[in-house]
Every structure is written in structure tokens, then in C-alpha cells.
């Protein structure tokens, strides 16, 4: 299942933006010269990126640089101070029904007595008013839930209370929930956070498989690129001054990152192909990013 | 209470139902049980037991104030409980997970409510017997009019709950994703507090302000131990609450002890038994708002 990173667009340092060629497919997400200011602090500025249908894209960068904020800006949950964001050609917030969003977790309380199946089902029709009456619609919904549970391989535990499942099991069910309405874009905010290494590898492989077989584009926020490195089409590396996007091989290099952060950065490659970025600055005031209720 | 118990249960029930007061008590008790079981189910799921408890206590100054002013006790319960629900909703400082601020606000409302209640009691001299009933429940004085009001309010509350139930479940379990799906979680928070206020006001009239917990928390908490399927869990909750009230009324009629004690004992017994049988020894999810 492991594939080498596909070659696509050349790296673009936004701010000095290179327009797409005339043959580029219509973008799923288009971010142009965007700036977000939260609580008087500029989270990032001059960020630009495009995401094409079916692409597997990682958003990388040090803690507190505003990776989650980028997803929220695309969803319209955080306003832009400058620039534009287009999601499926529409302004933020108007096409969210085509997005499966998995916020930064968010683990369920151990005493929550709701089955995994029910949590997946809520992703399908949880926003509908009124009672779920038995009938064709309800049967179709139940069938879709079974299909999703099989897709993420959660058949063995989906009927158990979600609070009693492991982090990896919960994450698989949440991915199923995010996929419930056949989105064209899956936005995953640190889905591998707080999972052990085998589960990180398993969930990363699952996301990649969904991206390929279901044709869903994936925007994944990650603190560590290594578990997903072999699946990525492109990365967007965020710094406070802007962003660089391109293939992992183009972006995760000492030269590009040094230019992005304006401070010497080394990228080391281990014998098993893992990348270690040394010297990237940790942004100050992480709290606004980690606690979005203050947004 | 007044009856003479024989071991012929059918005859006992017939004997008991010969009194209009007991028939009204059964009607009112059933309405309140159904309502409390359904609203309480969401309350337990949302860990808002502390808010529910406070709203129930607010019924005490409401009723005491109504007696002092010579108004209907029922009116006093509903006015105060709904007003307190709005106060809690408004004072909740921003933030979807502002539970620590929320419990501080709720605690303040609760202390103020009890103090106000005692003020009303002292303003209305010679009210001491009534105070016990307001706090610990009574079922003999329920009139047919009161039953009608209880039923009317219950129908409205349950209709609203039926409409918002699914998005409310979504917002309760998974706030962030629900909001991304366009569920107005803040509005639902307020609406639910109002429903909880109405349910607490209703339950207060049977169990008294202090023992509302027996109906709002115990049957839903027991049901959630029994099954993790939302539909079945709600049904079990209703069944248990109705059973608890019927048993309590029956025993209460043939015993000299207050109804609140029997409701609480039956409900707690069912919870304890279920915990043992399902092998779970978690504590009752009370005051989990903190």
C-alpha cells in the first residue's frame, strides 16, 4: 500500500505567489494571501495554498504556528483578517456539508454510555431535527453506518460504548463519522496525536487507503510527519511569515525551511527514511491555538 | 398513610384508588416520571446534574413565595425554575467547555435560592409544616387542576424535546463536530436548560425540592448502565421512573413515612441493584459538572 510521494506542483513560497498553470484541475481549496489575527496576535500571514481533488496533503509546522487555525479558516470557523479562502469555489462556511471534519481530539469520557455506532450515525444525520422514525430513510442510514464501520475496520467494537474504547479505536470510528456524508474533503486535526506507534501507522495507512479508494482529498494536521510521510502528495509547511507548499521532498529540506523561518534549520534523514527537523522555532503563546473557545 | 394493608394486592390497589386524591397522585406521578426520565436522560448524558439539582431547589423559594403572596404554588414552581434556567444560561460565561465557571454560577444561584426560600418562609408566619412538604414532597394535596397543568407542561416539554432531541444528542456527545455540521449548540444549551427547569418544577411538586434527584438522575443513570443504545436507554429510563413512582405511591399509601423517602429508596435500590448486576461500580454521575 505504501507509495512514493507523487511528484506534482513545484514548491511555492507564498507571498511571492506563482499562479497555477492553465491546465490545473479546479481546486478543492484555494487559499490566497490569507492572514488570521486572533486576540490581537497575528497567527500567520500571507499564506497561500491550493488543494486538488483526491490529494493527500499534510499541514506541518512547529507547535502553536496555527495549523489547526488553518483548517478552521477554511471551514469559516475563524475569520480572515486579509486574503481569501475558497472551499469548492465558495466562501468559507458555505460548503461545509462536503467536508468531513475531525477536530483535534477530543477523547470521549470513559463513562459515556453511547455506542460507537451511534457516534458514527450522528455524523450522518445528527443535525436533523425531529425523531428518527423507522422507515426507508432510517434503514438506509443504518446500512450506511454498517458500511462505514466496515470501511474503517471497526466491526469488532463499534457496538461497544465509545468511552470504553482505546484511542486508536475511537479515532477509527471518528474517521468513519467524518466520512458519513461522502465528503469530497476530509480535514483531520492531529488524528495521530496520543496514539501509540503501531496505531499511528495503522490509522495513517487507513487514511491513505480511504484517500485512494474513495477519492477523498485529505488535509491532515500533523506534528510529526513520519507516520504519514510515505503517503503524502504534498505538504504545506506553516511559518508565521507564510507557508511553503510542494512535495515532501521539495519542502522538507534545510534550504526551504531555513528560508521560511529565517533561521538555520537542518533536516536529518535516518537510515529507515524518517525525517528529523532540527532547529525550527517554537512559536510563542501556544494557548490561543490549543483552546479554540477563546477564538 | 391512611390505608390498611392486606396481602391481597389487587384489593389494596382498588381500595387505594377509591380516593380521588390517590388517583390524582398516580396521574401526576406518572406524568412527572415520564418527563423526568426523558429530560433527566439528557441531563445525565450532558453531566448537568448540578444544574438540574439547583433548578429543583429553586422550586422551593418559588413555592414558598407563591404561598406567601397567596398565589398558586404550581405557578411559583414554574416561574422560579424557568427564570433560574434563564439566569444560568445567561450567566454561563462564554466557552463551550466553561463548566468550571458554570458550576460557580450554578452554586451561587443555588445558595441564593435557598436563602430566598427561607426568607419567604419567615415572612409567611406559621408555615413550618408546609416547609417540610416543599422540601421533601407530598402527594395528598394534588388536585385535578394541578394534574391538568402538569400534563399540559409535560406535553409542551416533550414536544420540544422530540424536535431537538437528535441535534441535542449530537451537541452533547460531540460539540465541535456538531457545530461544524451547523447544529446551533449554544441555542440548544439554553433551550435544554429551560426544559430542565420545567421538568425540575414538575418533579418538585411530587418529590419536593430536595429529592428531585431521585427522579431526574437515578432512572436515567440506571438505564445508561443497562444499555448503551440511546433509544432503549430512554425507554428503560421511562419504565423505571414510572415503576419507581408507582411503587413509592403504593408503599407510601400504606405506610406512615413520607413519599419522598419511598421514591428515593426505590430509585436508589434499582440503581444499586443494576450496578451490582452489570458489574459496574462507578459512582453515580452526579455533580459531574465540575
pLDDT at A14 over 60: no
Mean pLDDT estimate for chain A: 83
Q: Is the Cβ pair A122, B170 closer than 8 Å?
A: yes
pLDDT tens for A55-113 read 999 999 888 889 999 999 998 888 999 999 999 988 988 888 889 999 887 678 888 88
pLDDT tens for A219-233 read 999 988 889 998 999
pLDDT (0 to 100) of residue A276: 82
Q: Is the Cβ pair B180, A115 closer than 8 Å?
A: no
Q: Is some CB atom of chain B closer than 8 A to the CB atom of A290?
A: no
DSSP per-residue string spanning B11-29: HHHHHHHTSHHHHHHHHHH
Question: What average pLDDT does this structure show over A26-46?
Answer: 89
Question: Cβ-count burial of A191 within 10 angstroms (0-12 exposed, 13-18 middle, 19+ buried)?
Answer: buried
Cell 423507522 found at: A134
pLDDT at A16 over 50: no
- Identify any residues that bridge with A268 across adjacent strands, giving them in sequence order: A276
Looking at CATH, the fold of the domain delimited by B9-278 is given as ABC transporter involved in vitamin B12 uptake, BtuC (1.10.3470)
How many pairs of residues across A and B have Cβ atoms under 8 Å apart? Answer: 88
Whose CA is closest to B253, among B241, B263, B243?
B263
Q: What angle do CA A113, A114, A115 make, to 5 degrees?
A: 120
pLDDT at A263 over 90: no
pLDDT at A17 over 70: no
CB atoms inside a 10 Å sphere around CB A46: 21
Q: Is the Cβ pair A131, B181 closer than 8 Å?
A: no
Pick the more confident residue, A173 or B143: A173
Q: Is some CB atom of chain B closer than 8 A to the CB atom of A223?
A: no
Whose CA is closest to A10, among A237, A249, A222, A253?
A249
Cβ within 8 Å of A, B 198-257: 224-225, 227-230, 233
Q: Å from B172 to nearest chain A CA?
A: 11
Q: Is some CB atom of chain A closer than 8 A to the CB atom of B96?
A: yes
Q: Is some CB atom of chain A closer than 8 A to the CB atom of B285?
A: yes
Q: Is the Cβ pair B176, A103 closer than 8 Å?
A: yes
Rounded-to-integer distance, Cα A120 and Cα A163, Å: 14
Tell me B217's DSSP state: T
Question: What average pLDDT does this structure show over A17-34?
Answer: 69
Q: Å from A139 to nearest chain B CA?
A: 15
* pLDDT confidence bin for A6, thresholds 50/70/90: very low
Domains of chain A: residue spans and CATH: 12-108+181-294 (3.40.50.300)
Question: What average pLDDT does this structure show over A27-45?
Answer: 90
pLDDT tens for B33-51 read 999 999 999 999 998 888 8
Q: Is some CB atom of chain B closer than 8 A to the CB atom of A133?
A: no
pLDDT tens for A121-176 read 999 999 999 988 888 988 999 999 999 999 999 999 999 999 899 888 999 999 99
Q: Is some CB atom of chain A closer than 8 A to the CB atom of B182?
A: yes
By percentage, how much of chain A surpasses pLDDT 90?
Answer: 42
Mean pLDDT estimate for chain B: 85
Contact A187, A101 (CB under 8 A): yes
Rounded-to-integer distance, Cα B67 and Cα B63, Å: 6
pLDDT (0 to 100) of residue B231: 93
Name the residue among A96, A106, A294 with its Cβ closest to that of B180.
A96
pTM above 0.90, yes or no: no
- Identify any residues that bridge with A100 across adjacent strands, giving them in sequence order: A186
Q: Å from B16 to nearest chain A CA?
A: 38
CB-CB neighbors (< 8 A) of A93 in chain B = none
pLDDT tens for B90-130 read 877 544 444 455 678 788 888 888 888 888 888 877 655 56
Q: Å from B151 to nearest chain A CA?
A: 21
pLDDT tens for B195-228 read 999 999 998 887 777 778 788 999 999 999 999 9
pLDDT tens for B81-101 read 999 999 888 877 544 444 455
DSSP per-residue string spanning chain A: ---PPPP-SPPEETTSPPPPPTTPPPPSEEEEEEEEEETTEEEEEEEEEEE-TT-EEEEE-STTSSHHHHHHHHHTSS--SEEEEEETTB-TTSSGGGEEEEPSP-PPPTT---BHHHHHHHHHHTT--S---SSHHHHHHHHHHHHHHHHTT-TTTTTSBGGGS-HHHHHHHHHHHHHTT--SEEEEESTTTT--HHHHHHHHHHHHHHHHHS--EEEEE-S--GGGGGG-SEEEEEETTEEEEE-HHHHSSHHHHHHHHTS--EEEE-TTS-EEEESPPPPS-THHHH-GGG-
Cβ within 8 Å of B, A 165-204: 177-178
Q: What angle do CA B220, B223, B229 make, to 5 degrees?
A: 110
Q: Is some CB atom of chain A closer than 8 A to the CB atom of B152?
A: no
CB-CB neighbors (< 8 A) of B274 in chain A = none
CB-CB neighbors (< 8 A) of A113 in chain B = 45, 224-225, 227-228, 233
Rounded-to-integer distance, Cα B167 and Cα A122, Å: 8
Length of chain A as a residue count: 295
Amino acid at each position: 500500500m505504501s507509495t512514493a510521494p507523487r511528484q506534482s506542483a513545484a514548491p511555492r513560497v507564498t507571498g511571492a505567489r506563482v499562479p497555477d498553470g492553465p491546465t490545473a484541475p479546479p481546486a478543492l481549496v484555494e487559499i490566497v494571501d490569507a492572514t488570521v489575527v486572533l486576540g490581537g496576535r497575528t497567527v500567520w500571514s500571507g499564506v497561500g495554498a491550493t488543494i486538488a481533488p483526491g490529494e493527500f496533503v499534510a499541514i506541518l509546522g512547529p507547535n502553536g504556528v496555527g495549523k489547526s487555525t488553518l483548517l478552521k479558516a477554511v471551514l469559516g470557523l475563524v475569520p480572515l483578517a486579509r486574503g481569501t479562502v475558497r472551499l469548492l469555489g465558495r466562501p468559507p462556511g458555505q460548503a461545509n456539508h462536503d467536508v468531513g471534519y475531525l477536530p483535534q481530539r477530543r477523547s470521549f469520557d470513559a463513562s459515556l454510555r453511547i455506542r460507537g455506532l451511534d457516534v458514527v450515525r450522528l455524523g450522518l444525520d445528527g443535525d436533523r431535527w425531529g425523531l428518527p422514525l423507522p422507515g426507508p430513510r432510517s434503514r438506509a442510514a443504518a446500512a450506511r453506518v454498517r458500511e462505514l464501520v466496515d470501511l474503517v475496520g471497526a466491526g469488532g467494537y463499534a457496538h461497544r460504548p465509545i468511552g470504553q474504547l482505546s484511542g486508536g479505536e475511537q479515532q477509527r470510528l471518528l474517521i468513519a463519522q467524518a466520512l458519513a456524508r461522502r465528503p469530497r474533503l476530509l480535514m483531520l486535526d492531529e488524528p495521530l496525536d496520543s496514539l501509540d506507534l503501531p496505531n499511528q501507522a495503522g490509522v495513517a495507512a487507513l487514511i491513505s487507503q480511504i484517500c485512494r479508494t474513495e477519492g477523498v482529498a485529505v488535509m491532515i494536521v500533523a506534528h510529526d510527519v513520519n507516520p504519514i510521510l510515505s503517503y503524502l502528495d504534498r505538504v504545506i509547511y506553516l511559518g508565521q511569515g507564510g507557508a511553503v507548499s510542494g512535495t515532501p521532498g521539495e519542502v522538507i529540506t534545510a534550504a526551504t525551511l531555513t528560508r521560511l523561518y529565517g533561521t538555520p534549520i537542518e533536516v536529518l534523514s535516518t537510515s529507515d527514511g524518517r525525517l528529523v527537523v532540527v532547529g525550527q522555532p517554537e512559536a510563542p503563546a501556544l494557548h490561543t491555538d490549543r483552546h479554540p473557545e477563546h477564538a | 398513610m391512611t390505608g390498611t394493608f392486606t396481602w391481597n394486592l389487587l384489593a389494596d390497589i382498588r381500595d387505594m384508588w377509591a380516593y380521588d386524591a390517590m388517583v390524582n397522585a398516580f396521574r401526576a406521578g406518572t406524568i412527572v416520571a415520564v418527563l423526568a426520565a426523558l429530560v433527566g436522560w439528557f441531563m445525565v448524558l450532558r453531566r448537568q446534574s448540578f444544574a438540574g439539582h439547583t433548578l429543583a431547589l429553586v422550586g422551593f423559594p418559588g413555592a414558598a413565595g407563591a404561598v406567601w403572596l397567596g398565589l398558586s404554588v404550581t405557578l411559583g414552581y414554574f416561574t422560579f425554575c424557568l427564570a433560574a434556567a434563564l439566569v444560568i444560561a445567561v450567566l454561563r460565561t462564554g466557552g463551550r467547555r466553561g463548566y468550571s465557571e458554570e458550576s460557580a454560577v450554578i452554586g451561587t444561584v443555588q445558595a441564593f435560592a435557598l436563602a430566598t426560600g427561607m426568607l419567604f418562609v419567615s415572612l409567611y408566619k406559621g408555615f413550618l409544616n408546609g416547609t417540610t412538604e416543599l422540601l421533601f414532597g407530598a402527594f395528598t394535596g394534588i388536585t385535578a387542576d394541578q394534574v391538568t397543568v402538569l400534563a399540559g407542561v409535560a406535553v409542551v416539554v416533550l414536544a420540544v424535546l422530540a424536535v431537538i432531541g437528535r441535534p441535542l444528542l449530537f451537541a452533547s456527545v460531540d460539540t465541535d463536530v456538531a457545530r461544524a455540521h451547523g447544529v446551533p449548540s449554544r441555542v440548544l444549551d439554553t433551550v435544554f436548560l429551560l426544559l430542565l427547569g420545567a421538568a425540575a418544577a414538575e418533579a418538585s411538586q411530587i418529590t419536593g425540592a430536595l429529592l428531585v434527584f431521585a427522579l431526574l438522575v437515578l432512572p436515567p443513570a440506571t438505564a445508561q448502565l443497562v444499555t448503551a443504545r440511546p433509544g432503549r436507554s430512554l425507554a428503560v429510563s421511562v419504565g423505571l421512573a414510572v415503576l419507581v413512582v408507582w411503587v413509592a405511591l403504593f408503599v407510601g399509601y400504606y405506610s406512615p413515612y413520607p413519599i419522598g423517602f419511598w421514591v428515593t429508596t426505590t430509585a436508589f435500590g434499582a440503581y444499586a441493584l443494576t450496578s451490582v448486576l452489570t458489574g459496574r461500580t462507578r459512582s453515580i454521575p452526579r455533580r459531574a459538572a465540575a
